[in-house]
Amino acid sequence: MKITVNEENEIQFEEVFIGISLKTIDGEKLSICMRDSGFEFNYQGKMYFAKEGYVEPFNLSVRGNPLVDQTHQEEGIAQTTPPNEDNK
pLDDT in tens, the chain (88 residues): 899 999 999 999 998 888 999 999 999 999 999 988 889 899 988 889 888 888 888 867 777 666 656 666 665 443 334 444 444 4
pLDDT of res. 65: 67
For residue 22, what are the contacts with CB-CB under 8 A and spacing of at least 6? 29, 30, 31
pLDDT of res. 72: 61
pLDDT of res. 87: 46
Domain boundaries, the chain: 16-63
- Spell out a b/e string for 25-44, using b for 16 or more CB atoms within 10 Å of the CB, else e: eeeeeeebebeeeeebbbee
pLDDT of res. 67: 60
The widest CA-to-CA distance across the chain, in whole angstroms, is: 61
Please work out, in degrees rounded to the nearest 5, the angle formed at the alpha carbon of residue 74 by the alpha carbons of 72 and 75. Answer: 130
